[in-house]
Structure 1
Amino acid sequence: MTTHDGIAVELAGVSVTYADAAGPVLRDVDLTIEEGELVLVVGRTGSGKSSLLGALNGLVPHFTGGTLTGSVRVHGRDTRDHRPRDLADLVGVVGQDPLAGFVTDTVEEELAYGMEQLGLAPDVMRKRVEETLDLLGIADLRDAALADLSGGQQQRVAIGSVLTAHPRVLVLDEPTSALDPTGAEEVLAAITRLVHDLAVTVVIAEHRVERVLAYADRVVHVVDGRVESGLPAAMMRTSTIAPPVVELGRWAGWEPLPMSVRDAWRAGAGLRRALADAPPARTSSLSRRPDVAGGARPLLSAAKLSVHHHDLVAVREVDLQVHAGSVTALMGRNGSGKSSLLWALQGSGTRTSGTVALAEGGDPADLAPAVRRTRVGLVPQTPADLLYLPTVGEECAQADQETGAAPGTCRALLDRIVPEIDGRLHPRDLSEGQRLALVLAIQLSADPAVLLLDEPTRGLDYQGKAVLAEVLRELAGRGRSILLSTHDVEFVAESADRVLVIAAGEIVADGPTSEVVTSSPAFAPQVAKVLGHGLLTVADAVAHVGEGPR
């Protein structure tokens, strides 16, 4: 196969099969990506997206193992003959777990490391470091220790560490998953500048399609290891992975389908008029958002809770109650103190001052870990930290045994969130979303009265998030309380009764979901931006107006 000018990446007849797998994770993939294209890769959790991205710089199979048949060429270099280090000047890769890819201790060192390996001159390195710090808005983190950064801050640094090498192809796996809405917009704006100003080729795999679709030149849909591609509007017409504005356009019969909030706003004038004339919502999902704080008893309470990390005040004298039957979302920009607050509430994290108490009395910090798990469960931002057994099946069996649940309880929960994960696989061989689903199933099998979730939708597709929202509502219906930290405004719109906004360690907003998220452009879901009227989801619009196109 030969390459010609204008072609950045060519895959011909590519199949990937891992050892002991039941079949190929990618099958007969033919794909051509042109220079200066921004390609969005979508697909269900575990569909093969990460393997496709890994093949673009030789990580698959040189690092991951397995067998790759067919050929992959990047600017004419065949990955069979060029290992990842031989493609480092051409391809920059940011994986799903930024911390796992860091090799230095501080932000500035990490940004410079890749250039040092390429032998760039010191003055060139210094200039590029400064440009990248400004581009990604992290200049104030220059001397910060990487381990002390929030997940979103780490993700920006990881992106910056590959940008400094000025790659011709940039491969990003879930680049906005840990970023707050404003931070995600800034990163995507920086990426699109690279595409339009420097003709860098960008390939992004992203489950939060609503964030990226408007920027994409082409969409690649991975379904059970097979690949189809086309223009975004054409692909979204039938894709099973579609953001809310596309779902809204399908229901309303808009032509062409909207790819962005702006497109949907222009198409939606008639629907907004119909909403203004419609009677009050009948069976809207808004009915699942009562003011639970009014009558339900608090299951967990905090008073004057503070957390300091050295000189940094992460949480500042927070008073908080989470109530039986509620799903509460904790939102705020990266580094605002969300994770520190969750760990302090659960009892394992640092507390500088203040108190935490359970409804039945006592502090979670004073409980034995096995008992604490049944009272206050926590799914951390890095779920792999809780996995230690060699197979998925053993993790599930151990979870059932530790909690006294019926055998198969954990596995059934896992299959409900992300079906058909091979129980023989090692957890480290799972995708980020599959690992998250496994830890969610483990924690849910303990059926704690209070469940704390830190970024619980990272790596989950829309179907997986819909199932998780359903599971959380069921738990709330049984009198449990869920507090989840998230940047996923669409998931909040689907699942949460109440929203807390934290800034600089302080709670600055607290109220019903429909009030808090619609009062902020950053936190408003797509449907709210298009339709208003307090509607947050397509289901809300359907319930308000009735079935059928408008």
Structure 2
Amino acid sequence: MIGFEHVSVTYDAAARAVLRDVHLRIDEGELCLVVGHTGSGKSTFLAAINGLVPHFTGGTLAGRVTVAGRDTANHPPREYADLVGVVGQDPAAGFVTDTVEEELAYSMEQLALPGDVMRTRVEETLDLLGLADLRHRSVHELSGGQQQRVAIGAALTPHPRVLVLDEPTSALDPTGAEDVLAAITRLVHDLGVTVIIAEHRLERVIPYADRLIYLPGDGTVHSGAPAALLAESSVAPPVIHLGRLAGWSPLPLSVRDARRHAPALRERLPAVPTGPHRPDHSRPEVALAARGIIVRHGQVIAVRGVDLTLRRGEVTALMGRNGSGKSSLLWALQGSGRRDGGTVAVGDSDPGKVSAAQARKLVGLVPQNATDLLYLDTVDAELGQADRDGATPGTARGLLDAIAPGIDGARHPRDLSAGQQLALVLAIQLAVTPGVLLLDEPTRGLDYQAKAALTRTLDDLAAQGRAVVVATHDVEFATTTADRVVVMADGDIVADGPAPAVLTASPTFAPQIAKILAPLPYLTLGQVRAALADGEAAA
């Protein structure tokens, strides 16, 4: 179905090729998972499949890419509309209509499909992805996860033979991600659709993959069985790392497979982990107190009278299904978003009743799309503007170097990787030293190493006495980062407590290590490693 024949891609002024002499074939009806660190070339690999590389992105393409016999060098991307469906990292950037129903129908209209066929496929897709209740909603009023499902649905309605997905579950809650992946798997098994997925949350996708395509970052591409490649890959989910640590062979790819090995490992572990799962930076001082917060968007009540107290030195994970009100609550707390009722107090000030510049000094917020806050032509220009907004010259640069050293100040912010863009926005927001920092889905587009670096950054901020809230669907990230977990549903807070207690109370939010080793109360690989090391030392 898809062929890469000695393909190399080099962008203008780049020191080396992003892809180098790639030679592989993907058969019809395969589900291929593309993995690699941020910046390794995954998006370039995907964009080459329908001719976006080089027709849209520029650069030089050597070799030959074919899809169902069509050569991308001779066919622009528009001529693949009937053959290849594509969903990019930023779904909202691809929307061209106003409502969910119209967006699902748009691509079929461009292919001139009969009206009754269009109607049937729209209804099927609404049901398949759980979008029926949103059919008349504006696509720009939806949550990030809802937008992601709409974008996937819009790619599915033309019934493409190839589906290319770049981070398709990054903004989806765990249940929503399972539903979408189950729908995609049905397309593979029942209709023979070829699916290529690039994803950083490997724990979600690996059990479904027929083949792994690994990009180590040197331009080469390795293709093979998931278990074989993951045995040596530097990019791997917790279940793989646990299997390596315990010496399991073959390596399990799912929690179910790992549970079959788990009894012997549980016997080697003490009943209780030897240390806390996180360092304790919490302090008794209240950083922010919110009472009775109400947010309405038209007829929709997004937040229903929420009370929330944030304390200094504490990292809180805000979780819940897509559309539960997390983003609306964060914007209301920061002062820039709607607030139709309730009060927010940061010391003696209400962020919603002061100027925007003053509000930033009280509460900083990093939105779902960090690039929304980047509007100048260079990194240095962004850092300089952050300093002029109320910091000592050089403050923002120092913060950026502490978070992500080595970023060239002359580079355009839009040319940075997702992790570098997040680091830049964090530096900009922290330059004015807010006591409260809110982050909305900060791990989208980040690999495991980048997420570990973000965890260290948030730990440092907590140690300085700041209160940090992270709205996230990333269970594994929340497990290693959060002291406290707050769960929202339908605009209300339904759970609030220590991270270990809340995360293990429901299978939906439990991390892989907890699922594998239950009933033992282990949450992280670090706890298991420490316990095994202590056992060996005692022996």
What is the identity, as a one-letter code, of the residue corresponding to 1:196?
H
Residue of structure 1 aligned with 2:296, choices 308, 319, 335: 308
- Structure 2 matches for 1:471-486, cutoff 5 A? 471-486=457-472
Aligned AA (2:188): V
SS in 1 for 2:182: helix
Amino acid across the alignment from 2:128:
L
Change (3 A) 1:408 1:201: farther
Q: 1:236 to 1:444 in 2, by over 3 A?
A: farther
- Aligned match for 1:244, one of 233, 238, 258: 238
Contact 2:293 2:305 survives alignment (8 Å): yes
1:481, CA displacement in angstroms?
0.7
Aligned 8 A contact 2:278 2:483 in 1:
no
Aligned to 2:498: 512
Separation (CA, whole Å) in 2 of partners of 1:155 and 1:62: 25
Q: Which residue of 1 aligns with 2:101?
A: 108
Q: How does 1:185-224 map to 2 (within 5 A)?
A: 185-224=178-217
1:3: which partner in 2? none
| 2:371 aligned residue | 384
Total equivalences in the alignment: 535
Alignment gaps of 5+ in structure 2? none
1:383 deviates by 1.3
Q: Which moved more, 1:257-266 or 1:8-17?
A: 8-17
Structure 2 counterpart of 1:282, which letter? T
User: Pick from 497, 511, 534: which aligns with 1:525?
Assistant: 511
Secondary structure in 2 aligned to 1:223? coil
TM value normalised by structure 1: 0.93
Distance 1:242 1:186 in 2: 22
Paired residue type of 2:433: D
CA distance in 1, matches of 2:75, 2:398: 41
The CA deviation at 1:415 is 7.4
Deviations 1:210-266 (A, max 9, x none): 110111111111122321121100111111110000011111111111111111111
Question: How far off its partner does 1:362 sit?
Answer: 0.7
Specify whether residues 27 and 92 from structure 1 end up closer, same or farther in structure 2 by C-alpha distance, changes over 3 A only.
same
Superposed CA offset, 1:15-65 (max 9, x none): 222233333222222221111111111111111111111111111111112
The match for 1:272 is 266
Q: Identify the match of residue 367 of structure 1 among 346, 354, 363.
A: 354
Counterpart in the other structure of 1:336:
324
- Residues 302 and 264 from structure 1, CA distance in 2 versus in 1: closer, same or farther, beyond 3 angstroms? same
* Cα distance, 1:477 vs structure 2: 1.0
The 1:298–1:392 alpha-carbon spacing in structure 2 relative to 1, beyond 3 Å, is same
1:40 maps to 2:40: no
CA positional deviation for 1:421: 5.0
Relative distance call for 1:279 and 1:172 in structure 2 (3 A) is closer
TM-score scaled by structure 2?
0.95
**2:215 counterpart SS class:** strand
Q: Map Cα deviations across residues 410-441 of structure 1 (whole Å, 9 max, x no partner).
A: 47636744x66554443333444443333233
Return closer, same or farther for 1:403/1:547 CA change in 2, 3 Å cut-off.
farther
Check whether the contact 1:330–1:338 (CA below 8 A) recurs between aligned residues: yes
Gap runs ≥5 in structure 1: 1-7
Distance 1:421 1:377 in 2: 22
Contact 2:302 2:491 in 1 (8 A): yes
CA distance in 2, matches of 1:289, 1:106: 46
SS of the aligned residue for 2:382 comes to helix
Contact 2:273 2:522 in 1 (8 A): no
Q: Is the 8 A contact 1:102 1:110 kept in 2?
A: yes
CA separation in 2, counterparts of 1:445 and 1:203? 40
Counterpart residue number, 1:320: 308
CA distance 1:404–1:491, shift in 2 (3 Å): same
Provide closer, same or farther for how the CA distance between residues 489 and 380 of structure 1 changes in structure 2, counting only shifts above 3 A: same
| 2:351–2:358 CA contact under 8 A, matched in 1 | no
Partner residue in 1 for 2:57: 64
Q: Which amino acid in structure 2 is aligned with residue 388 of structure 1?
A: Y
Residue 281 of structure 1 pairs with residue 288 of structure 2: no
The C-alpha deviation readout for 1:142-177, integer Å capped at 9, x for no partner, is 111101110000000000001001111100000000
Distance 1:528 1:312 in 2: 36
Report the equivalent of 2:451: 465
Q: CA deviation at 1:135?
A: 0.8
Measure, in 2, the Cα distance between the counterparts of 1:67 and 1:421: 25
- Percentage identity across aligned positions? 62
Return the match for 2:383 from 396, 401, 410.
Answer: 396
Q: Report the counterpart of residue 426 of structure 1 in structure 2.
A: 412
1:406, CA displacement in angstroms? 5.6
Q: In the TM superposition, what is the alpha-carbon distance from 1:475 to its structure 2 partner?
A: 1.0
Structure 1 residues 420 and 223: alpha-carbon distance in aligned structure 2, compared to 1, 3 A threshold: farther
Q: Answer yes or no: is the 8 Å Cα contact 1:25–1:48 preserved in 2.
A: yes
287 and 117 in structure 1: CA distance in 2 versus 1, 3 angstrom threshold: closer
With over 3 angstroms needed to count, the CA separation of the structure-2 counterparts of 1:424 and 1:350, relative to structure 1, is same
Secondary structure in 2 matching 1:546: helix
Tell me what 1:10 maps to: 3
Q: Does 1:179 align with 2:172?
A: yes
Q: Tell me by how many angstroms 1:113 deviates.
A: 0.5
The letter of the residue matching 2:235 is: I
- Contact 1:45 1:434 survives alignment (8 Å): no
Query: 1:239, 1:216 → 2: CA distance?
Result: 16
CA distance in 2 between counterparts of 1:44 and 1:341 reads 32
Specify whether residues 245 and 548 from structure 1 end up closer, same or farther in structure 2 by C-alpha distance, changes over 3 A only: farther
- The separation in 2 between residues aligned to 1:390 and 1:326, in whole angstroms, is 35
Residue aligning to 1:151: 144
1:26 pairs, out of 19, 30, 35, with 19
Q: Any idea what the Cα deviations from partners look like across 1:80-132, whole Å, max 9, x if unmatched? A: 11011001111000001111000100011110110111111111111111111
Give secondary structure in 2 for the equivalent of 1:267: helix
Amino acid across the alignment from 2:91: P
User: Which residue identity does 1:13 align to in structure 2?
Assistant: H
Q: Give the drift of 1:289.
A: 5.4
1:136 equivalent among 117, 124, 129: 129
Q: Confirm or deny: 8 A CA contact 1:280 1:544 kept in the other structure.
A: no
1:500 maps to which residue?
486
